[in-house]
């Protein structure tokens, strides 16, 4: 119940901000707003103030702003579409269709823009309140693991190497080392390390043939003990009897020195039995487990998460703004990257989640603290804004396309053309909703 309540509140805030953008832009353009609704369906409560009726409706997953001569919202009707297309400009000043194309585009884009602005406001607030960061970021940059087939392995790095300089810049902890590596996606740099009391300089070149040669990825990882922090219900690890706090000391007969070693072995053994030896208190227990393939990621998993010590770090106002802006930009790039991979069929649609998954993640974020909840809301608001800009009929981006065509033609699209495109867009949206809901249900059963 707690998760549902938090989910409805968070979604309500994001929808309110979105529709508020449409509402403010409409009023600034002299358009009369007849109704401002949070939710769809039957009205639960409402009050009319001036020309506008403000209401809360029964179905919380959406909202709309009904304007004189047209609606902007997720429940845009074909009847309204036809009215927009056939209404003559100048018939009434307060009508949506009587405004210039630029004015109407402003109204349409203001909803997604408000969601994007909200994300860029919330994210700095997250850093100001305080964020939980891995404690290893404050530790000396001693290499705990070298990823196989990575630029670091090609450069000759070894576990135990202490990083002194990267690209002639001194580093004192993992935070500085990771920042330099992440902001130099081209790599191609020299790293000064200390090994057994001897100082060496090793190359860190980007390996174009390696599957790990993504932007800023080196393959250098900090030390991380192979201790189970959480066992997910319904997965092979739970069935094999693994428990939180277990220290994995051996995997398929090989001694374990790092969590990354365990992770890499599990990922590469989907559908194959592996044997784990764990230390639980004073006991040493052996367990046989068969990783299942994560269809979205394409590798084996058994449903365990490592235990990672964290520290809460707070930032002053200027630092919070800087970190918040950088994080928002990173999330924006990530969202576009996922969309690109979906369109190019390089990412399975099974990786997408729907309302059930979003509600679950919202509840988990809320239980983690205010900071995590605000960060999740910022991410959701950013995605809502960006996705609404896609040029798909029934989304705000689709309306912008209609208006641009109207500007080029000198007249609106025909009623028939708009009905067809709206129907196709609506069908695509419903299909997507069905797919992501099915994904959610299957995750629950798994």
Q: What is the pLDDT of residues 197-253, one digit of tens each?
A: 999 999 988 655 444 434 457 889 998 889 999 898 889 999 999 999 999 999 999
- More confident site: 216 or 281: 281
Distance between CA atoms of 16 and 287, rounded to whole angstroms?
51
Question: What is residue 110's predicted lDDT score, i.e. its pLDDT?
Answer: 94
Question: What is residue 208's predicted lDDT score, i.e. its pLDDT?
Answer: 55
| Spatial contact of 286 and 310, defined as CB atoms under 8 Å apart | no
Catalytic site positions? 19
Q: Is 357 a member of any domain? A: no
Over residues 298-352, the pLDDT tens digits come to 789 999 998 888 788 888 999 999 989 988 998 888 788 778 877 777 666 666 7
One domain for residues 8 and 115: yes
434 is in which domain, residue-wise? 2-127+382-445
Looking from the CA of 14 toward its CB, the CA atoms found within 13 Å total 27
| CA distances, 281 to each of 22, 231, 242, 306 (Å) | 59, 17, 13, 17
One domain for residues 232 and 185: no
Model confidence pTM above 0.75: no
Distance between CA atoms of 291 and 172, rounded to whole angstroms?
38
One domain for residues 232 and 285: yes
Over residues 114-168, the pLDDT tens digits come to 999 999 999 999 999 988 778 888 889 999 989 888 889 989 999 999 999 998 8
- Parallel, antiparallel, or unpaired: how do β-strands 304-306 and 228-231 relate? antiparallel
One domain for residues 180 and 235: no
Residue 76: is its pLDDT beyond 70? no
- Closest CA relative to residue 154, chosen from 210, 101, 194: 210
Q: Is 296 a member of any domain? A: yes
Distance between CA atoms of 181 and 239, rounded to whole angstroms?
39
Give residue 392's pLDDT band: very low, low, confident or very high (50, 70, 90). confident
Q: Is 236 a member of any domain? A: yes
Over residues 56-74, the pLDDT tens digits come to 888 777 788 888 866 444 4
Residue 75: is its pLDDT beyond 80? no
For every residue of 257-307, DSSP letters joined together read --HHHHHHHHHTTTTS-EEEEEEETTEEEEEEE-PEEETTTTEEE-SEEE-
Question: What is residue 212's predicted lDDT score, i.e. its pLDDT?
Answer: 42
One domain for residues 174 and 241: no
One domain for residues 232 and 213: no
Question: What is residue 369's predicted lDDT score, i.e. its pLDDT?
Answer: 80
Q: Is 355 a member of any domain? A: no
Dihedral of CA 205/207/212/216: which sign? positive
Domain boundary (194, 222, 250) is at 222
Give residue 395's pLDDT band: very low, low, confident or very high (50, 70, 90). confident
Residue 112: is its pLDDT beyond 90? yes
One domain for residues 8 and 97: yes
One domain for residues 53 and 91: yes
Distance between CA atoms of 59 and 416, rounded to whole angstroms?
30
250: domain CATH number?
2.30.42.10
Dihedral of CA 139/143/149/153: which sign? positive
Residue 77: is its pLDDT beyond 60? no
Q: Is 14 a member of any domain? A: yes
Summarize the chain as % helix, strand, coil (round to 5).
45, 25, 30
């Amino acid at each position: 119940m707690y998760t549902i309540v938090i989910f409805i509140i968070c979604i309500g805030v994001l929808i309110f901000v979105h529709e508020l953008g449409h509402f403010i832009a409409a009023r600034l353009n002299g358009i009369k707003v007849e109704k401002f609704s949070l939710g769809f369906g039957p009205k639960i409560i409402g009050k009319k103030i001036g020309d506008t009726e403000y209401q809360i409706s029964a179905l919380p997953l959406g909202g709309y702003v009904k304007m004189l001569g047209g609606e902007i919202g997720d429940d845009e009707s074909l009847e309204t579409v036809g009215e927009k297309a056939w209404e003559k400009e100048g018939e009434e000043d307060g009508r949506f269709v009587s405004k210039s194309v630029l004015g109407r585009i402003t109204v349409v884009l203001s909803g997604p823009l408000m969601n994007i602005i909200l994300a860029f406001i919330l994210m700095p607030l997250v850093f100001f309140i305080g964020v939980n960061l891995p404690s290893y970021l404050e530790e000396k940059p001693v290499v705990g693991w070298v990823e196989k087939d990575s630029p670091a392995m090609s450069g000759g790095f070894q576990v135990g190497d202490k990083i002194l300089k990267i690209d002639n810049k001194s580093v004192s902890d993992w935070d500085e080392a990771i920042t330099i590596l992440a902001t130099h996606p081209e790599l191609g740099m020299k790293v000064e390390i200390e090994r057994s009391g001897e100082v060496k300089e090793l190359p860190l070149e980007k390996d174009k043939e390696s599957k790990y040669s993504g932007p800023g990825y080196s393959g250098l990882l900090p030390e991380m003990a192979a201790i189970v922090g959480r066992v997910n219900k319904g997965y092979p690890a739970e069935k094999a009897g693994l428990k939180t706090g277990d220290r994995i000391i051996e995997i398929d007969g090989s001694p374990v020195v790092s969590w990354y070693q365990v992770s890499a072995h599990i990922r590469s053994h989907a559908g194959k039995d592996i044997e784990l030896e764990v230390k639980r208190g004073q006991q040493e227990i052996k367990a046989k487990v068969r990783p299942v393939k994560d269809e979205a990621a394409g590798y084996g998993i058994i449903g365990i998460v490592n235990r990672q010590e964290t520290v809460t770090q707070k930032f002053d106002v200027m630092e919070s703004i800087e970190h918040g802006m950088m994080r928002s930009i990173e999330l924006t790039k990530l969202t576009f990257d996922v969309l690109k991979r979906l369109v190019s069929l390089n990412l399975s649609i099974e990786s997408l989640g729907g309302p059930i998954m979003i509600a679950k993640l919202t509840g988990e974020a809320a239980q983690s603290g205010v900071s995590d909840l605000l960060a999740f809301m910022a991410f959701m608001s950013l995605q809502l804004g960006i996705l609404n800009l896609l040029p798909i009929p029934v989304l705000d981006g689709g309306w912008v396309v209609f208006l641009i065509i109207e500007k080029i033609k000198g007249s609106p699209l025909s009623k028939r053309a708009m009905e067809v495109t709206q129907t196709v867009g609506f069908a695509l949206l419903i299909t997507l909703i069905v797919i992501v809901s099915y994904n959610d249900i299957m995750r629950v059963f798994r």
